[in-house]
Structure 1
Amino acid sequence: MKDVAAHAGVSVATVSAVINRNKYVSPNLAQRVQESITALGYERNSLAQSLKKQTSQTIGLIVSDITNPFFTSVVRGVENVANARGYSLILGNSDEDLKKEMGYMHLLESKRADGLIVAFTLGNHEYLHSWPAHRLPLVGIDRLPDDACIDAVLIDNVAGARHAVEHLITLGHERIGIVTGLPGITTTEERLIGYQRALAAHGIPLDPALIVEGNSRIDGGERAALQLLAREAARPTALFVTSGLMIISALQAINQVGLRCPEDIALVGFDDFEWAAVMYPRLTTVSQPTYEIGQKAAQLLFDRLEKRDAAPQVVRLQPQLIIRESSGAPLQSATPSKELPGYVHR
């Protein structure tokens, strides 16, 4: 900065005022300073600025699987809120690996990020008990580790899953197979609870053989769906797939065994994406407000930065069942359709 001041023939204070835009500088002087900055190739030392101001004007976002389209709108929601406040966003992908998650969190801490938004992966999160949350606040999205006392934005997974399964029940289905996601994470557990509650509410016995574990990815979804569809004598008449990536592989599995959707087997998935409305058949899905998840998470983080001692908030947003073609397999025993909250026909 001294070199810029000498080159422009002004004081260091004038250069600082031009760069930080915190004091009035006459247009002629400001132009001289800008010309000197360009001529000398001067760049601000952002680390020094952050140390001085006690803020880096950056926040971090760690997602659990960057290949999952679910996170696309989540990232956009976080970024838009951050940018509107003059903050930049640093994105990390844990790839469902706890060590990578911890590595990104400590990296962002060392980079002096002002706060973190995290979609926690599977594993033991004891390190959160000693995390310096007062200095580096955390907001959880999508999932929340047990006993984590932090702000979070989640989905009412139980209600979303129950609505999806009850929709299939109103079409006459009783043998409804479910492909679950990664074991041990809250989204998987809650969606399974919703499935079980829907069956119980309609007096349908729970058949453990109709519950097959996937891994929330395409390969696991195909394997699990094939396992359910291979039972010709006791094959389900409908499938509920609990993540968006796995619904693609469920369709592949249906095709592999020579069945048609929805004529031979109905299909409902959890997660709605743009391609769900243009696939054949068009997919019935539980839509999550992904942009709102990111938006609300960022708002909670900035609220936390302003009020660090406030009680943690856990916000649960409501999903919506989007009824399209893939769930429409007609059965002779079909009962009249019953509308449930959150249903939209498209």
Structure 2
Amino acid sequence: MTADMNDLARYCGVSITTVSRALRNKGEISKETREKVLAAAKELNYMPNLPARILAGGHSNTVGLIVADNSNPYYAELIHGAEDCAKDYGYGVILYNTNEDDQLELKGHQMLLENRVGGLLITSITSGKQPLIELNKRKIPFVLLNRFLEDYPTDWVRSNNELGAYQIIQHLCSKGYKRILHITGSETISSVRERQTGYINALKENGCDVDPNLIYRCDLNLESGYKSTLKAFRELDPAPTAIFAYSDLLAIGVLKALHELGKKVPADVALAGYDNIEYSPFIEPPLTTVDQFAYEIGSEGMKILIEKINLPEDEEWQPKQIILDPELCVRESSG
């Protein structure tokens, strides 16, 4: 049998208002009273009346997760980390996919807020900082995952994308590859800019020319990786001796194109991806890549978000920014 707020108030000998403040960790009550109410809630198997809370202008024990592409195995792992963490704290997750489309992104914000989520985890910010400014104005907690805006500091958890790309190019250069094609996405995406910077810096350090013709931009999916590779080998002379793809998903498309062109990997062209998705060790040849620990990014971001949601009203939030160091995974595709 479950208890409601009236039961807790009678059991603890306090008002319903005090019980509400203790459960929401908001308002001016003593630490002793808060702990007493929370202990009673556990003992009596308290169950919140979520519809009533929402009607009263509050939020449910759900959070929204806006992802750029839920068909990408990288995001599946990130979602897994976020959901596991949310369950530990008694929260549910509503997922919204944008396909890196700014209009879908804005619709996602609107839909999730209409569902009175407690806060947002966001991996897609192609619409810029204005939606984030609006969230702040409405006092909606949010955390960015593997994205950030240089001109709008806020909470985020991300991998050191510049370092990861730098490690890959250093590895390829150490193998003797000098003409390295980079297949990547739009510069509106912060991780694209970061990885491109790492790519360029490593080339310069190894005495390689930075040729803008060796940077191909496309949508971040399998087909685009495939088509960009075919296009590059039609247009570039001399042809690249190695390819660094923005993601493992792109790299799989690249690999199909190279097979069709009769190019052996790595004998004719070396190949490296990024993300270390579950399939990377199992394709042929196994893919050299970078692990950016997507599960941990999702989990750490959720911890910060739940902490923000439950911040007492009388406390000021101190922004949190976490950078995880990536790990180079060398396999057969790079020689």
Deviation, 1:121, is: 3.7
2:90 — aligned with what? 86
CA contact (8 A) 2:103 2:127 kept: no
Q: Which has the larger radius of gyration?
A: 1
Distance 1:269 1:321, change over 3 A: same
CA contact (8 A) 1:139 1:151 kept: yes
Counterparts of 1:155-234 in structure 2, within 5 Å, are: 155-231=159-235, 233-234=237-238
2:260 — aligned with what? 256
Between 116-125 and 206-215, the greater mean CA deviation after superposition: 116-125
2:272 — aligned with what? 268
1:17 — aligned with what? 3
1:108 — aligned with what? 112
The number of equivalent residue pairs is 296
Are positions 1:128 and 2:132 aligned together? yes
Equivalent AA in structure 2 for residue 96 of structure 1: E
In structure 1, stretches of 5+ residues that fail to align are: 1-14, 25-42, 329-346
2:300 — aligned with what? 296
Tell me how large the CA RMSD over aligned residues is. Answer: 2.4
Distance 1:206 1:293, change over 3 A: same
Percent identity of paired positions between Structure 1 and Structure 2: 33
Q: C-alpha deviations, 1:134-186, integer Å up to 9, x for none?
A: 63111011212342332111111110000001100000111111111233211
Deviation, 1:123, is: 3.1
Deviation, 1:45, is: 6.0
1:95 — aligned with what? 99
Between 86-95 and 231-240, the greater mean CA deviation after superposition: 231-240
Distance 1:61 1:233, change over 3 A: closer
Deviation, 1:208, is: 1.7
CA contact (8 A) 1:168 1:327 kept: yes
In structure 2, stretches of 5+ residues that fail to align are: 12-46
Deviation, 1:20, is: 8.6
User: TM-score, normalised on structure 2?
Assistant: 0.82
Equivalent AA in structure 2 for residue 58 of structure 1: T
CA contact (8 A) 1:181 1:243 kept: no
1:150 — aligned with what? 154
CA contact (8 A) 2:144 2:157 kept: yes
Question: Which residue, out of 57, 61, 64, partners 2:65?
Answer: 61
CA contact (8 A) 1:229 1:254 kept: no
Deviation, 1:245, is: 1.4
CA–CA distance in structure 2, aligned partners of residues 313 and 269 of structure 1: 29
CA–CA distance in structure 1, aligned partners of residues 6 and 158 of structure 2: 39
Divergent runs of 4+, >6 A: 18-21
**What SS does the aligned partner of 2:208 have?**
coil
**What SS does the aligned partner of 1:173 have?**
coil
Deviation, 1:110, is: 2.0
CA contact (8 A) 2:105 2:127 kept: no
**What SS does the aligned partner of 1:270 have?**
coil
Between 124-133 and 169-178, the greater mean CA deviation after superposition: 124-133
Between 299-308 and 202-211, the greater mean CA deviation after superposition: 299-308
Distance 1:21 1:73, change over 3 A: farther
1:5 — aligned with what? none
**What SS does the aligned partner of 2:70 have?**
coil
Deviation, 1:241, is: 0.5
Q: C-alpha deviations, 1:223-251, integer Å up to 9, x for none?
A: 22122223574011111011121111100
Deviation, 1:95, is: 1.9
